[in-house]
């Protein structure tokens, strides 16, 4: 319940991205008069999106199902003796429905409906408690909100030809030997099976309804039709959580995804999503997965290659739980609410893949995830990283979205082209952002320390960097060009705007030793000694660069393949060859020439755009 409920919140909040996509205007910030103080992004643009949705994932938002019937003690009907009970007419109730605590009972609705008259009160439709051998059939529970059906501490219960609808829940708790068949669940909030054994859901129609199987054993889902109409609507999932020996067989999924958390010894076979097969691998190694899939689920796997796989139109396309050495390449994920979910995993590579239309990568409690050389299209929504380390985002092109780090450290974002991508750090430390080009949005750092931001170019943003309650971060050797404001500082933020140490650099003909600040295009200080460092400070930058960074040559003094600037950022010795940071050395920085070309392209695009606007 913990996770399943909160997954909804995650997805629901992610859906906020959609409105944000629509409201964007290209380079509209060019119209804003330029000041040194940028325009602070709104809450949802800066913090809101990721950090709220990720936090909520861990919240224990449990409905207090177990007590609802006691607090509303009025029942339309109480059955405490065995027998055959019929319902001969449709009824609308302003109280609880039928309470069964006798065994050997049959309730036959004969096709009639029991409707909940009060949409607010938390009434229960049918509650079967401490009973054995009860059948409920041919009944319609039109039960807006509250629980349509609650089965607790019971055995041998059969629900058949029943229909339940209207944002209600169906809750099976601490029960065994339950069969729910040939029934429909239409627009229910959730179907929950908790702490139960031998529960079978067979041949049901489950529409716009999520199902959660938690702390349960020997549960069977067979031949159900589980669907919703729109990937952008209210997201639905089927979650297996802390459960084992689950059989999921011959089900037809449409948009709704199956998600497996910490559940083992499952048999998941012959299922289809959107007409394509669902691949489930548990405790496998050395496998190659390829082709157009409905969904891919890896649980406890090692050494898996996933190549040329496409998944579209699912709530979640690829679910990776507690797996290691997974290589994903040439994927094409589009129109999925979540593209890849990586949880409690290590060493996952996502390479040369394409993400379109939502398809968010969500990484949590994982280490060693490398995301390189991918393309994130105009509708893709980026990467969320929570409580993870050693995630590398390198050489990707983003057209839109957000990269968000929450409670994460020792991650790097390098050599990416970030068009209209918000990069936010929250409660994160020792992260490295370098050699990136930010266009349209800058960088936000909140409640974070010891992060290193260097050799980036930030252009065309309404703010360059936003710092909120963030101290001890190093921001140096970046270019701030054509932003309507350079920095926004909120609360107690004190950071360092020059290189952590002095280093040798060449500017013009001479090589000198000194601290390097940032290039700010609106800085108009003098440089009387011609060393490339301005004579007056700019804001808190005591060594502002007089021209963009590509006019300064940074050496690799010890010839170990890592330039002195990076050595200083990574804390290695620029004068002693080092091997301890080899991962740094194979991140090829964007060279000055490439940078210039990219900036020229940007400028051309901006001019074109501007001209277009003038012509209107
Ligand atoms: Ca100077
Ligand atoms: Ca070096
Ligand atoms: Ca060195």
Per-residue HEC secondary structure of 304-366 comes to EEEEEEEEECCCEEEEEECCEEEEEECCEEEEEEEEEEEECCEEEEEECCEEEEEEEEEEECC
Q: Which of 76-90, 171-185, 542-556 shows the lowest per-residue confidence on average (mean pLDDT)?
A: 76-90
Distance 350 CA to ligand 2 centre (A): 28
In sequence order, which residues have a C-beta less than 8 Å from that of residue 409 and are 6 or more positions away?
Answer: 389, 428, 429, 430, 431
Higher pLDDT, 246 or 117: 246
Ligand nearest to the CA of 580: 3
Q: What is the DSSP string of 21-86?
A: HHH--TTGGGGSPP-SBPPPPPHIIIIIHHHHHHHHHT------HHHHHHHS--EEEEE-S-EEEE
Distance 395 CA to ligand 2 centre (A): 21
Cα–Cα nearest to 195, from 151, 129, 258:
151
Q: Is residue 68 over pLDDT 90?
A: no
What angle do the packed helices 16-23 and 2-14 form, to 10 degrees?
Answer: 10
State the ligand closest to the CA atom of 556.
2
pLDDT at 254: 97
Number of CB atoms found within 10 A of residue 510's CB: 10
Model confidence band, residue 148 (pLDDT cutoffs 50, 70, 90):
very high
Convert the pLDDT of each residue in 158-215 to its tens digit: 999 999 998 888 999 999 999 999 999 998 888 999 999 999 999 999 999 989 999 9
Distance 503 CA to ligand 1 centre (A): 15
At 13, list the tokens. 């909040």
Percent of all residues in the chain with a pLDDT value above 90, rounded to a whole number: 70
SS3 11: helix
Å from CA of 479 to ligand 1 middle: 18
**Given a cut of 70, is residue 70 above it in pLDDT?**
no
Q: Ligand 1 centroid vs 535 CA: distance in angstroms?
A: 5
For ligand 3, the distance from its centroid to the CA atom of residue 435, given in whole angstroms, is 19
Least confident of 6-15, 58-67, 283-292: 58-67
Mean pLDDT, residues 302-327: 97
Instruction: Of 230, 188, 229, 180, give the one whose Cα is nearest residue 210.
Output: 188
pLDDT at 397 over 70: yes
Ligand 1 centroid, distance to 435 Cα (angstroms): 25
As to burial, measured by CB atoms within 10 angstroms (0-12 exposed, 13-18 middle, 19+ buried), residue 120 is exposed
Which ligand is closest to the CA of 585, given by its number? Answer: 2
What one-character DSSP code corresponds to residue 93? Answer: E
Cβ atoms of 393 and 414 within 8 Å: the answer is: yes
Mean pLDDT of 551-576: 94
Token pair for 439:
């266009």
Give the Cα separation of 457 and 487 in Å (integer).
14
Q: What are phi and psi of 561, to 5 degrees?
A: 90, -5
What pLDDT sits at residue 381? 87
Residue 37 clears pLDDT 90, i.e. is over it: no
CA 512 to ligand 3 centroid distance, Å: 19
Ligand 1 center to residue 511 CA distance, Å?
13
Cα first-last separation, the chain: 55
* The pLDDT of residue 237 is above 70: yes
The owner of tokens 């290193």 is: 452
Beta-carbon contacts of residue 201 (< 8 Å; ≥ 6 apart): 180, 181, 191, 211, 219, 220, 221, 222, 224
> How many angstroms does the Cα of residue 569 sit away from the middle of ligand 3?
11
Separation of CA 325 from chain center: 21
* 560 CA from centroid of ligand 2 (Å): 5
> What's the gap in Å between 525 CA and the centre of ligand 1?
9
- At 18, the pLDDT band (50, 70, 90 cuts) reads very low
- List phi, psi (to 5°) of 150: -135, 120
Q: Which residue ranges make up each domain of the chain?
A: 1-62+321-495, 74-273, 503-604
Residue 580 CA to ligand 3 center (angstroms) comes to 9
Residue whose C-alpha is closest to residue 445's, from 394, 406, 387: 406
What pLDDT, on the 0 to 100 scale, is given for residue 40? Answer: 65
The residue that leads in pLDDT, 41 or 160, is 160
For the chain, the farthest-separated pair of C-alpha atoms sits apart, in whole angstroms, at 101
Using DSSP bridges, classify how beta strands 276-282 and 272-273 pair: parallel, antiparallel or unpaired.
antiparallel
d(CA 27, CA 603): 11
Residue 66 or 398, more confident: 398
Among all bound ligands, the one having the nearest atom to the CA of 579 is 3
* Centroid of ligand 3 to alpha carbon of 547 (angstroms): 27
Query: Following DSSP, what letter does each residue of 490-546 receive, concatenated?
Result: ESS---B-S-SS-EEEEETTEEEEE----EETT-----TT-SSB-SS-BTTBSS-BS
Ligand nearest to the CA of 508: 1
Tell me the per-residue pLDDT of 359-382, one tens digit each, with 9 for 90 and over. 999 999 999 999 999 999 988 889
DSSP 552-603: EEEP-TT-SSS-HHHHHHHT--TTS---TTHHHHTSPPPPHHHHHHHHHHHH
- Report how far residue 36's alpha carbon sits from residue 606's, in angstroms, rounded to the nearest whole number: 21
Q: How far is CA 326 from CA 71, 264, 291, 319, 369, in A?
A: 50, 19, 16, 12, 9
Distance 579 CA to ligand 2 centre (A): 10
- Which among 36-40, 49-53, 193-197, 576-580 has the top mean pLDDT? 193-197
Least trusted range by pLDDT, from 8-17, 470-479, 486-495, 516-525: 8-17
CATH code, residues 74-273: 2.160.20.10
pTM for the model stands at: 0.84
pLDDT at residue 384 greater than cutoff 50? yes
Grade residue 489 by pLDDT with cuts at 50, 70 and 90. Answer: confident
């Amino acid at each position: 319940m913990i996770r399943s409920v909160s997954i909804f919140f995650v997805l629901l909040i992610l859906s906020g991205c959609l409105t944000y996509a629509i409201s964007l205007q290209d380079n509209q910030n060019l119209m804003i008069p330029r000041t040194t103080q940028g325009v602070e992004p709104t809450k949802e643009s800066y913090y809101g999106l990721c950090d709220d949705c990720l936090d909520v994932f861990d919240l224990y938002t449990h409905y207090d199902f177990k007590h609802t019937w006691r607090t509303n003690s009025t029942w339309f009907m109480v059955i405490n003796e065995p027998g055959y009970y019929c319902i001969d007419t449709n009824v609308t109730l302003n109280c609880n429905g039928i309470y069964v605590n006798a065994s050997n009972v049959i309730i036959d609705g004969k096709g009639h409906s029991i409707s909940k008259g009060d949409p607010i009160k938390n009434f229960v439709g049918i509650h079967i408690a401490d009973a054995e051998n009860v059948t409920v059939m041919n009944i319609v529970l039109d039960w807006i909100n509250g629980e349509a059906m609650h089965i607790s501490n019971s055995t041998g219960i059969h629900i058949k030809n029943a229909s339940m609808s209207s944002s209600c829940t169906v809750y099976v708790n601490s029960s065994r030997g339950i069969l729910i068949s040939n029934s429909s669940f239409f627009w229910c909030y959730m179907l929950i099976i908790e702490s139960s054994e031998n529960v079978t859901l067979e041949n049901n129609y489950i529409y716009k309804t999520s199902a959660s199987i938690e702390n349960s054993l020997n549960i069977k889902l067979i031949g159900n039709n589980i669907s919703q109409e729109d990937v952008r609507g209210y997201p639905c999932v089927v979650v297996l959580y802390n459960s084992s020996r689950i059989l999921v067989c011959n089900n037809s999924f449409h948009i709704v995804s199956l998600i497996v958390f910490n559940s083992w010894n499952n048999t998941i076979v012959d299922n289809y999503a959107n007409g394509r097969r669902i691949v489930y691998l548990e405790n496998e190694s050395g496998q190659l997965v390829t082709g157009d899939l409905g969904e891919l689920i890896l649980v406890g796997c090692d050494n898996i290659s996933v190549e040329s796989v496409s998944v579209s139109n699912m709530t979640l396309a690829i679910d990776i739980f507690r797996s290691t050495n997974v290589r994903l390449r040439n994927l094409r994920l589009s129109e999925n609410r979540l593209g890849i979910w990586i949880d409690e995993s290590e060493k996952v590579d996502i390479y040369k893949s394409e993400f379109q239309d939502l398809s968010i990568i969500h990484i949590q409690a994982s280490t060693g995830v490398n995301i390189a050389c991918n393309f994130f299209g105009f509708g893709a929504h980026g990467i969320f990283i929570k409580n993870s380390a050693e995630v590398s985002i390198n050489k990707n092109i983003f057209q839109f979205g957000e990269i968000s780090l929450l409670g994460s450290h020792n991650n790097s974002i390098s050599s990416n082209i970030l068009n209209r991508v918000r990069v936010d750090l929250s409660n994160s430390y020792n992260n490295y952002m370098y050699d990136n080009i930010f266009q349209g949005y800058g960088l936000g750092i909140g409640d974070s320390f010891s992060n290193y931001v260097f050799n980036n170019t930030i252009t065309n943003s309404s703010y360059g960097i936003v710092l909120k309650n963030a101290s001890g971060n190093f921001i140096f050797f970046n270019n701030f060009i054509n932003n309507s404001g350079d920095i926004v500082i909120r609360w107690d933020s004190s950071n360092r705007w020059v290189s952590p140490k002095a280093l040798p650099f060449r500017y013009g003909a001479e090589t000198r030793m000194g601290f390097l600040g940032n290039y700010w295009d609106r800085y108009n200080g003098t440089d009387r000694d011609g060393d490339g460092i301005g004579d007056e400070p700019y804001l808190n930058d005591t060594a502002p660069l007089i021209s963009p960074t590509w006019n300064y040559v940074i050496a690799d003094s010890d010839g170990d393949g890592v330039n002195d600037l990076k050595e200083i950022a990574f804390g290695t010795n620029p004068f002693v060859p080092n091997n301890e940071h080899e991962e740094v050395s194979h991140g090829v920085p964007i060279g000055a020439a490439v940078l210039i070309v990219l900036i020229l392209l940007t400028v051309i695009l901006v001019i074109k755009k501007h001209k277009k606007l003038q012509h209107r």
